[in-house]
Structure 1
Amino acid sequence: MPAFEKYITQMKKWFSLPGLLLMGVLCWACSCNSGTKDKESAEKVLSSPLYAGLTDSIKQFPQNHELYLQRAVLLSQNNRHEIAMADYKKAWELKPEEHIALQYVSNLMLINRPEEAISLLKESLAKWPANPDLHRRLGEAYTQMGEPQKAISQYNEWAQQDSLNFEVWYEKGVLLAQLKDTPAAIEALEQSYKVQPINYNGLALASLYAATLNPKVITLCDDLIRKDTSGIINDVLYLKGSFYSDTKQYDKAMQMFNECISRDWKFADAYIEKGIVLHDLKKYDSALKVFTMAATVQNTNPDAWYWMARCYEVLGKKDLALVNYQRAAAIDKNFEEAREGIERMKK
């Protein structure tokens, strides 16, 4: 896996954004799973025992926005997102408040209506321009719509209004990294870490430093280790080891990977990176043992099987190399290097 993609993948594995990544997954997954239930008659659903009490109360007090909101939330909790939309809309019409707008927007995204969500967010931001959650959600909506430049513009507008909010710089940085604008991503994440130096923006920044072979990664990682209060040391050591490996400082790299493994013997990525160092040093038998251990602790990791195949290929064991290239390709259908290895072994 190329260096940049490796670190972006690691960033996604380490971090769960307050909105950008988590919301995107939830929106698409839930909207796909809600179709059958939401096609049922709304009237039948709302008169069922679970909702009957609130439905009766709404009939008695049709101007009470809280009742609509309570029923909408209950519907959402039970995967009735399409039916819930009318209640969110009614609650918003009766009482246009910030928290109702945000819940309504979430529902619109869940039922895959990002255009309506964007319209509501713009309307809400005109009323409450200082609300960071509204800015964040608008950036997320543009991202989900496949309009990253509009999302970037939104984050820029948010930063102009609240430059000391570390989250705007963080989320902008992650989006820029996904767009492969690495220098701009680093600049944004540096600003985020400057405003609020905490683990998750520090690790994101360190991962991009490592991906670009920037020696600042070592100083930053050491800083994160000194301040660690949540058990991120292994991830930091892994980043240091990867930087040392990519810059051919193999002794230091091995020290970092060995420490990672001693702290967590199931850390498959550390085994793989350690094995790659041994492979680069032409210690193929030793590398093979390490890759085999990686596959043992995580047998769904395609890189473990791929690198085992590389070792077998160098050692002249083409049949074993072919089997392991095939295993890697079966796990990751887009693993081009594994497919190339298969073709080589079949010649």
Structure 2
Amino acid sequence: MRKLTILAIGLAIVACNQQQAHNSQQQEPAVDSVLNADIIQPVTDSLQQFPDNHALYYRRALLLFNTHPELALKDFQQAAKLDATNTDYWAGAGEAALVTGNNKLATELFTKALTTAPGYPYLQYKLAIAHVEEKQYAAADSLADLLTQSKDARDQAFYLKARIAEDHQDTTRAIQYLRQGVEVAARPEYEALMELGDLLSSRRDAAAISYYVQAWKLDSANAVPMYNAGQLYEQLQQTDAAISAYRKSIVADPGYEAAYMALAHISRKQNNWKDAFTFYNLAAKAAPTDAEAYYYRAMSNEKLGKKELALEDYIKASSFRKDYGEAKEGIKRLSK
């Protein structure tokens, strides 16, 4: 199930778990290398001269955040230790804790931030996110209730409630809250629109289409919204509408293989092998290692009487998927 971007951690950190002894040997040189990188070194040098300057720790934390949030967290915390009245320091530390998956610490840090800026909606929202990640749903829901009274955060409050409902497998309430969030938002979140579309689509509800279209208009270079719309149109047996949606998906991203495959499958089901070949061919070019694209291009060539080309593609399909039984049957059939 999709998790809303507004509720999800902004960055993914992939850590390699090695032996503790090896880590202890490598950790210091790695940290030293990062802190002395070209962009960061001037701030590191300044901190050596002024080790109690909280603003310098904060500045370095900002520079580190996108690439080394675990180091940024330490600097944010040091800045907050030196100046505990600065809201930005606690908030930055909370953000870094969320990014690194330390959700319990994030709740503590955002709580401290709120002591310096009581009632600040952004901090309440972030604290609620941390509570959700910790599965402290009652606390998160209480904060969401407060945010519904905020002019600038009402949409996020409903998205929070939708996330909680989804975590409790309550699709009906999730749809209700997402709709409320989209309605009150000055500019609805792309992920909220997509999540709402997906939940409605799972029920084969045609209302999903309008949300996919809104998401597509927000990000016209993204092929997924109109592709998803096409999938729902097919389920609703509206083939012409599906074809139109898939074509818009391709316009959004000419390299999106799934849309070519969908158009090709429609042509194949209609026994229109010439068009099927065209779209399977485009799919194979968009994803040159996809065994399925080669298999169906082979099938199209075989139906069009081009057996040598078909055999080549069956061989390619089999090479990319070793257990592709249908492709092996095609090879056996055309090798006679």
TM-score for the superposition, normalised by structure 1: 0.66
- Conservation of the 8 A alpha-carbon contact between 2:268 and 2:276: yes
The equivalences for 1:121-136 within 5 A come to: 121-125=110-114, 128=117, 130-136=119-125
* Cα offsets for 1:168-213 (capped at 9, x unmatched): 3335546766886543432232121111153613343223323331
- The residue that corresponds to 1:55 in the other structure is 48
Alignment pair present for 1:324 and 2:317: yes
- The residue that corresponds to 2:203 in the other structure is 212
- The residue that corresponds to 1:98 in the other structure is 87
Alignment pair present for 1:66 and 2:36: no
- The residue that corresponds to 2:188 in the other structure is 198
- SS of 1:266's partner is coil
Task: Provide the identity percentage.
Answer: 19
Partners in 2 of 1:246 and 1:45 — Cα distance?
52
Q: Cα distance 1:178–1:157, how it changes in 2: closer, same or farther (>3 A)?
A: closer
Alignment pair present for 1:22 and 2:10: yes
Bigger RCO of structures 1 and 2 (CA < 8 A, at least 6 apart) = 1
- Conservation of the 8 A alpha-carbon contact between 1:312 and 1:321: no
- Conservation of the 8 A alpha-carbon contact between 1:166 and 1:193: yes
Q: Cα distance 1:175–1:342, how it changes in 2: closer, same or farther (>3 A)?
A: farther
Q: Cα distance 1:21–1:181, how it changes in 2: closer, same or farther (>3 A)?
A: farther
1:38: Cα distance to partner? 4.3
Partners in 1 of 2:34 and 2:260 — Cα distance?
53
- The residue that corresponds to 2:105 in the other structure is 116
Unaligned runs of 5+ in 1: 331-337
* Cα offsets for 1:135-180 (capped at 9, x unmatched): 4444554566xx5x43x54542232011252123335546766886
- The residue that corresponds to 1:88 in the other structure is 76
Partners in 1 of 2:165 and 2:273 — Cα distance?
38
- Whichever residue aligns with residue 245 of structure 1, its letter is E
* Cα offsets for 1:47-95 (capped at 9, x unmatched): 996322222123xxx3x4324323444555774844x555432321232
Q: Cα distance 1:180–1:254, how it changes in 2: closer, same or farther (>3 A)?
A: farther
- The residue that corresponds to 1:242 in the other structure is 231
- Conservation of the 8 A alpha-carbon contact between 2:57 and 2:79: yes
- Conservation of the 8 A alpha-carbon contact between 2:294 and 2:313: no
Among 156, 161, 170, the residue aligned to 2:146: 161
Partners in 1 of 2:314 and 2:194 — Cα distance?
35
Q: Please tell me the root mean square deviation across aligned C-alpha atoms, in Å.
A: 4.7
- SS of 2:255's partner is coil
* Count of residue pairs the alignment pairs up: 312
Which one has a bigger Cα radius of gyration? 2
Partners in 1 of 2:259 and 2:239 — Cα distance?
14
Q: Cα distance 1:175–1:271, how it changes in 2: closer, same or farther (>3 A)?
A: farther
Unaligned runs of 5+ in 2: none
- SS of 1:20's partner is coil
Partners in 2 of 1:178 and 1:322 — Cα distance?
45
Partners in 2 of 1:250 and 1:45 — Cα distance?
55
Partners in 1 of 2:284 and 2:119 — Cα distance?
50
Partners in 2 of 1:325 and 1:140 — Cα distance?
46
* Cα offsets for 1:22-43 (capped at 9, x unmatched): 23x1xx237889x787423989
- Conservation of the 8 A alpha-carbon contact between 1:46 and 1:55: no
Q: Cα distance 1:102–1:312, how it changes in 2: closer, same or farther (>3 A)?
A: farther
- Whichever residue aligns with residue 52 of structure 1, its letter is D
TM-score for the superposition, normalised by structure 2: 0.68
Partners in 1 of 2:251 and 2:64 — Cα distance?
48
- The residue that corresponds to 2:29 in the other structure is 40
- Whichever residue aligns with residue 91 of structure 1, its letter is A
Partners in 1 of 2:318 and 2:255 — Cα distance?
23
* Cα offsets for 1:231-287 (capped at 9, x unmatched): 369655434322211112212222332344456543423212212323443545643
Partners in 1 of 2:33 and 2:47 — Cα distance?
14
Partners in 2 of 1:220 and 1:240 — Cα distance?
9
- Whichever residue aligns with residue 270 of structure 2, its letter is L
1:230: Cα distance to partner? 5.4
- The residue that corresponds to 1:268 in the other structure is 257
Q: Which has the higher helix share?
A: 1
- SS of 1:168's partner is helix
- Conservation of the 8 A alpha-carbon contact between 1:291 and 1:307: yes
The equivalences for 1:247-258 within 5 A come to: 247-258=236-247
Partners in 1 of 2:236 and 2:82 — Cα distance?
61
1:214: Cα distance to partner? 0.4
The equivalences for 1:221-232 within 5 A come to: 228=217, 231=220
Partners in 1 of 2:214 and 2:73 — Cα distance?
47
